[in-house]
């Protein structure tokens, strides 16, 4: 085996102009900065409920409504959302209204506790008590992170890059488990459990082990726990740590991020704008929830996967190529701002160009290479064709082979395995087996081809990459021309065809501007500098820092 | 004795007319490791025989773990296909260009025709409804938003049936388009029936908007059973939907 190909190579394959790249990043920062400010000034019911979850409040009432929702609703009715949940709740606990959070939630929903906003010494006491309890939850997340590192050391890591990412989605966690374990045996390094279709618009996290879902399985703490335990078992059996992925998106993303940290999930889908553009969730709600969930992921050592593939499934993959780059730049800015490191940025992109278009493969290569060179240290997530999978499984199999080849040529970090039966059925056992043979063949035959591959400096690929980067800079410029920057751009449909004004969309009633006494112990702890014991990705080869002189 | 082949009777074609050759693949939950290989291939051949393939040639048997085997089988079938007995929903309306569609609406209604579209239930896959409604369109045809005489209200994903009825009333919809992609546990059929029942309940029969449902897994002959006016299946283009709308809402309104 040769080296992983980073040694004797010339510096970059596309020779992007460093000044242009710097400009693109500067524009993304300029567009993102006001959004971060906005996020800092607001809170949401989901952020507050996530705080309660970090403090250890679990479970649901007889009707299945989580206690965090019940408690949040009562507190909100008594003192409002704008001060946060911590002060009124721990004030009540300090006053001795209940002996713990769980009984407080029960009493509160029975109507036997009234909350108030503490002042003076009472406020100090409530702050201290809340911080102490929430810190325990965050410590638990830290422990889970250390545990992951230890397990990877003990069991071994995925044997190669890209990691092979497979999806299970039966709706029934007890069906998912054997399927996931079988997928791991067949070679999956990462298992993603797709969520039930409706979940992103639920304003609560369902509770317990679930056996029914539509086109996916509900994300619940218990389901996380069950699947984690099963994959730890597989890791032991197979001698490599199997990573688990779920979705921190939709109306509950901060809570799901917290649960992911507590239950040692390894990757989470987490995009800065997906909920707004594709789910019609209110922009402010999304940006606030996003920032908190990213902070949790940063702390938990979770790799985020962003959702740029969605731009290509709803618009033409050639015309919209630059929207992917723009979104990647924004996601990178938002992620770094929240404390995520390069190795945690699974920036997304996809192989979705119409195969009938001449030179479609060269364009795919150009786009993938552009992402690789713009984000040299990020484990990019490479997603397979879906739009042009027609039901002709034979043609689809070939298309997936070419998708895999682009992955090999451009050093993708995470490869979502394409299924030839995409758009026909949920994958059969044989579909998965054939798909993995496809990946294995390409990686075995051409996995190191990138060492020999360098596109002509002025050729089709390099020019196309430069063109897309240029168009993405133009788009960022257009975003910044708006009075209110990104918010207005989202409102008037600058991003694709979807118009999403800041005062509309789902979940807006769960947003409040923070008051001057607002306090949230989780945010406070997450904003503090964090000493990572093992923040380095295990077995990640040391990169030459020189490459980051962009 | 040879009779001239009847053109509506056909057999599958491999490389010779009338050879009846087909190819199938499937998985059996049995092992083909080691000395079990012969038994597994025999099992696959047996299934193929029972399906009418004779002779059946098991060309590929691949173990998938200890418990499953994947097979590819080639073989001859003796069944005849009678194309004169195939039942299909033929297109019963003329295909119009956007220009012709606009002209017809203008002439017959003297106002814009209003279409309300949505994905109902928990279905969040707006691919279908967007392909038909968004100006971007599908298969080289522009979506309904492109038609000057069509007013398109796209409610997007996860719209509840009551919300849909309410918006349809508000907008005085001439037609309601519903897309359903998710088919787990027959969700697409259940949701469609719920939707058509709700419209029937809240509108007098002669005022009810045209109900159209579409999605990749629908059977176009199920319209009546689902209580809708029309079902569109995989591969439907915006132009077909627009032409159908014009046909139903301009010609028949005139007649009544």
Nearest by CB: B123 against A197, A315, A433: A197
Q: Are B105 and B153 in contact (CB under 8 A)?
A: no
**Residue-by-residue DSSP string for A219-252:** --HHHHHHHHHHHHHHHHHHTSPPEEEEE--STT
Residue A313 in contact with partner chain B when CB distance is under 8 A = yes
What is the per-residue pLDDT for A18?
A: 96
What is the per-residue pLDDT for A427?
A: 81
Q: What is the mean pLDDT of residues A194-214?
A: 87
Record: contact A279-B124, CB cut-off 8 A: yes
**Residue-by-residue DSSP string for A261-288:** HHTT--EEE--SSHHHHHH-B-HHHHHH
- List all residues of chain A from 159 to 188 with a beta carbon under 8 Å from chain B: 171, 182, 185-186
Record: contact A315-B234, CB cut-off 8 A: no
Chain B residues with beta carbon closer than 8 angstroms to that of A210: none
Record: contact A197-B70, CB cut-off 8 A: no
For residue A13, give both structure tokens. 């394959």
Residue A386 in contact with partner chain B when CB distance is under 8 A = no
Nearest by CB: A430 against B27, B135, B158: B27
| Residue of A214, A216, A307, A309 to mutate, testing the B interface (most B Cβ within 10 Å of its Cβ) | A214
For residue A73, indicate whether it is catalytic.
no
- Of A522, A529, A545, A536, the C-alpha closest to A130 is A522
Per the listing, tokens 């956007």 go with B98
* CATH class of residue range B98-255: alpha beta
Q: Are A246 and A284 in contact (CB under 8 A)?
A: no
Q: What is the mean pLDDT of residues B151-175?
A: 90
Residue A1 in contact with partner chain B when CB distance is under 8 A = no
Q: Taking CB atoms and an 8 Å cut-off, how many pairs form between chains A and B? A: 56
Confidence of residue A550 (pLDDT cuts 50, 70, 90): very low
- List all residues of chain B from 19 to 38 with a beta carbon under 8 Å from chain A: 25-27
Which range has the worst mean pLDDT, A26-30, A35-39, A380-384, B158-162? B158-162
Assembly ipTM: 0.81
Distance CA A339, CA A295 (A): 6
* Start-end of CATH 3.30.30.60 domains in chain B: 9-83
pLDDT at B164 over 50: yes
What is the per-residue pLDDT for A542?
A: 45
What is the per-residue pLDDT for B4?
A: 61
Record: contact A313-B127, CB cut-off 8 A: yes
- Of B185, B177, B184, B203, the C-alpha closest to B120 is B177
Q: A204, A218, A274, A518: which one is catalytic?
A: A274
- Return the HEC string of A138-151: HHHHHHHHHHHHHH
What is the phi-psi region of residue B218: left when phi exceeds 0, alpha when psi lies from -120 to 50, beta otherwise? beta
Q: What is the mean pLDDT of residues A89-107?
A: 97
What is the per-residue pLDDT for A5?
A: 43
Write the pLDDT tens digit of every residue in A117-148. 999 999 999 999 999 999 999 999 999 999 99
Per the listing, tokens 């909920």 go with A275
What is the per-residue pLDDT for B65?
A: 83
| Residues forming beta bridges with residue B177, ordered by sequence position | B117, B212
Q: Are A9 and A451 in contact (CB under 8 A)?
A: yes
Chain B residues with beta carbon closer than 8 angstroms to that of A198: 122, 124, 158
Distance CA A476, CA A471 (A): 9
What is the per-residue pLDDT for B171?
A: 93
Q: Say which residues have a Cβ less than 8 Å from residue A23's Cβ, sequence separation at least 6.
A: A473
For residue A345, give both structure tokens. 């940025």
The C-alpha R_g of chain A, in whole angstroms, comes to 23
Q: What is the mean pLDDT of residues A260-268?
A: 98
- Of A166, A254, A243, A258, the C-alpha closest to A537 is A243
Q: Are B252 and B206 in contact (CB under 8 A)?
A: no
pLDDT at A534 over 80: no
Residue A198 in contact with partner chain B when CB distance is under 8 A = yes
Record: contact B123-A214, CB cut-off 8 A: yes
Q: What percentage of chain A has pLDDT greater than the value 70?
A: 93
Q: What percentage of chain A has pLDDT greater than the value 90?
A: 81
For residue A529, give both structure tokens. 């500098």
Record: contact B25-A430, CB cut-off 8 A: yes
Residue A430 in contact with partner chain B when CB distance is under 8 A = yes
Query: Catalytic residues of B, which ones?
Result: 136
Q: A29, A161, A381, A514: which one is catalytic?
A: A381
pLDDT at A67 over 90: yes
Q: Are A86 and A52 in contact (CB under 8 A)?
A: no
Q: Say which residues have a Cβ less than 8 Å from residue A524's Cβ, sequence separation at least 6.
A: A131
| Residue of B66, B132, B157 to mutate, testing the A interface (most A Cβ within 10 Å of its Cβ) | B157
Write the pLDDT tens digit of every residue in B171-229. 999 999 999 877 777 888 999 999 999 999 999 988 999 999 998 888 888 999 999 99
Chain A residues with beta carbon closer than 8 angstroms to that of B122: 196-198, 214
| Mean pLDDT score across all residues of chain A | 92
Record: contact A429-B122, CB cut-off 8 A: no
* Start-end of CATH 3.40.50.280 domains in chain B: 98-255
Measured between CA atoms, how close is A350 to chain B, in angstroms? Answer: 16
Write the pLDDT tens digit of every residue in A441-495. 999 999 999 999 999 999 999 999 999 999 999 999 999 999 999 999 999 888 7
What's the CATH fold of domain B9-83? Defensin A-like (3.30.30)
In terms of CA atoms, which chain A residue is nearest residue B185? Answer: A214
For residue A377, give both structure tokens. 């240290």
What is the per-residue pLDDT for A106?
A: 97
In terms of CA atoms, which chain A residue is nearest residue B67? Answer: A182
Other Cβ atoms closer than 10 A to A328: 25
pLDDT at A162 over 90: yes
Q: What would you measure as the largest C-alpha separation in chain B, in angstroms?
A: 77
In terms of CA atoms, which chain B residue is nearest residue A198? Answer: B122
What is the per-residue pLDDT for A11?
A: 62
What is the per-residue pLDDT for A7?
A: 42
What is the per-residue pLDDT for B131?
A: 79
Element (DSSP H or E) covering residue A47: helix A45-54
Write the pLDDT tens digit of every residue in A179-192. 999 899 989 999 99
Chain B residues with beta carbon closer than 8 angstroms to that of A201: 124, 158
Confidence of residue B79 (pLDDT cuts 50, 70, 90): very high
Q: What is the mean pLDDT of residues B147-173?
A: 90
Record: contact A182-B122, CB cut-off 8 A: no
Record: contact B64-A391, CB cut-off 8 A: no
| Residue of A172, A213, A310, A430 to mutate, testing the B interface (most B Cβ within 10 Å of its Cβ) | A430
Q: Are A375 and A345 in contact (CB under 8 A)?
A: yes
What is the per-residue pLDDT for A497?
A: 59
Separation in Å, CA B7 to CA B1, B84, B87: 18, 9, 17
Q: What is the mean pLDDT of residues A319-335?
A: 96
Q: Are B22 and B74 in contact (CB under 8 A)?
A: yes
Cα angle for residues B39, B40, B45 (degrees, 5° grid) = 95
What is the per-residue pLDDT for A14?
A: 93
Write the pLDDT tens digit of every residue in B87-135. 877 788 999 999 999 999 999 999 999 999 998 877 667 777 877 887 7
Q: Say which residues have a Cβ less than 8 Å from residue A36's Cβ, sequence separation at least 6.
A: A291, A334, A337
């Amino acid at each position: 085996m040769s080296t992983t190909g980073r040694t004797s190579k010339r510096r970059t394959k596309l020779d992007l102009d460093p000044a242009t790249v710097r400009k693109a990043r500067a524009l993304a920062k300029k567009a993102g900065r006001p959004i971060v400010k906005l996020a800092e000034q607001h809170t949401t019911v989901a952020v507050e409920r996530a705080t309660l979850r970090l403090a250890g409040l679990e479970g649901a009432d007889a009707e299945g409504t989580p206690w965090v929702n019940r408690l949040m609703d009562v507190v909100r009715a008594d003192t409002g959302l704008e001060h946060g949940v911590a002060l009124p709740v721990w004030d009540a606990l300090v006053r001795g209204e209940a002996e713990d959070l769980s009984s407080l939630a029960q009493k509160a929903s029975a109507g036997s506790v009234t909350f108030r906003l503490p002042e003076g010494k009472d406020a100090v006491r409530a702050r201290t008590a809340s911080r102490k309890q929430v810190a325990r939850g965050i410590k638990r997340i830290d422990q889970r992170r250390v545990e992951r590192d230890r397990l990877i050391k003990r069991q071994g890591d995925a044997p190669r890059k890209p990691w092979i990412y497979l999806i299970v989605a039966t709706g029934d966690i007890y069906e998912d488990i054997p399927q996931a374990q079988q997928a791991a045996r067949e070679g999956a390094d990462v298992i993603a459990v797709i969520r039930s279709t409706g979940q992103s618009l639920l304003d609560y996290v369902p509770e317990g082990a679930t056996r029914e879902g539509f086109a996916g399985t509900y994300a619940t703490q218990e389901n996380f726990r069950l699947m984690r335990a099963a994959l730890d078992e597989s890791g032991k059996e197979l001698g490599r740590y199997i990573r688990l992925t779920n979705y921190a998106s939709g109306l509950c993303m901060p809570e799901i991020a917290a649960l992911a940290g507590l239950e040692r999930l390894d990757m989470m889908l987490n995009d800065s704008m997906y909920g707004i553009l594709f789910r019609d969730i209110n922009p402010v709600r999304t940006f606030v929830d996003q920032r908190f969930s990213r902070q949790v992921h940063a702390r938990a050592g979770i790799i985020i996967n962003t959702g740029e593939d969605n731009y290509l499934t709803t618009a033409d993959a050639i015309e919209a190529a630059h929207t992917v780059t723009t979104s990647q730049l924004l996601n990178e800015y938002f992620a770094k701002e929240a404390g995520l490191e390069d190795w945690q940025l699974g920036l997304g992109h996809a192989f979705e160009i119409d195969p009938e278009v001449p030179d479609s493969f060269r364009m795919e290569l150009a786009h993938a290479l552009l992402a690789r060179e713009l984000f040299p240290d990020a484990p990019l997530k490479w997603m397979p064709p879906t739009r042009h999978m027609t039901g002709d499984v034979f043609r689809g199999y070939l298309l997936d082979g070419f998708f895999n080849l682009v992955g090999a040529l451009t050093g993708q970090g995470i490869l979502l395995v394409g299924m030839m039966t995409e758009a026909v059925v949920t994958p059969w056992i044989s579909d998965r087996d054939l798909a993995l043979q496809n990946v294995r063949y390409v990686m075995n035959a051409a996995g190191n081809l990138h060492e020999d591959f360098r596109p002509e400096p002025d050729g089709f690929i390099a020019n196309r990459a430069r063109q897309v980067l240029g168009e993405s800079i133009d788009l960022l410029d257009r975003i910044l021309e708006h009075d209110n920057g990104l918010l207005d751009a989202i409102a008037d449909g600058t991003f694709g065809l979807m118009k999403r004004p800041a005062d509309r969309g789902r979940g807006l009633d769960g947003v409040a501007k923070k008051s001057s006494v607002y306090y949230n112990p989780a945010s406070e702890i997450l904003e503090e500098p964090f000493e990572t014991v093992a923040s380095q990705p295990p077995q990640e080869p040391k990169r030459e820092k020189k490459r980051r002189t962009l | 004795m040879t009779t001239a082949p009847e053109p509506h009777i056909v057999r599958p074609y491999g490389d010779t007319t009338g050879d009846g050759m087909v190819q199938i693949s499937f998985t059996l939950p049995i092992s083909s490791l080691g000395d079990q290989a012969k038994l597994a291939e025999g099992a696959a051949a047996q299934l193929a025989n029972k399906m009418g393939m004779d002779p059946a040639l098991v060309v590929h048997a691949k173990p998938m773990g200890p418990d499953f085997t994947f097979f590819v089988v080639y073989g001859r079938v003796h069944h005849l296909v009678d194309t004169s007995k195939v039942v299909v929903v033929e297109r019963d309306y003329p295909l119009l260009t956007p220009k012709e569609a606009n002209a017809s609406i203008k002439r017959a209604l003297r106002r814009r025709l209003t279409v309300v579209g949505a994905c109902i239930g928990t279905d969040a896959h707006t691919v279908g409804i967007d392909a038909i409604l968004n100006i971007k369109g599908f298969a080289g045809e522009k979506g309904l938003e492109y038609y000057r005489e069509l007013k398109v209200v796209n409610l997007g994903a996860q719209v509840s049936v009551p919300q849909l009825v309410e918006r349809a009333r508000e907008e005085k919809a001439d037609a309601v388009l519903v897309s359903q992609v998710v088919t787990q546990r027959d969700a697409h059929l259940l949701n469609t029936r719920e939707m058509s029942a709700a419209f029937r309940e809240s509108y007098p029969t002669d005022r009810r908007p045209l109900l159209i449902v579409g999605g990749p897994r629908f059977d176009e002959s199920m319209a009546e059973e689902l209580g809708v006016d029309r079902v569109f299946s995989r591969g439907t283009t915006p132009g077909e939907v627009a032409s159908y709308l014009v046909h139903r809402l301009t010609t028949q309104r005139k007649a009544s």
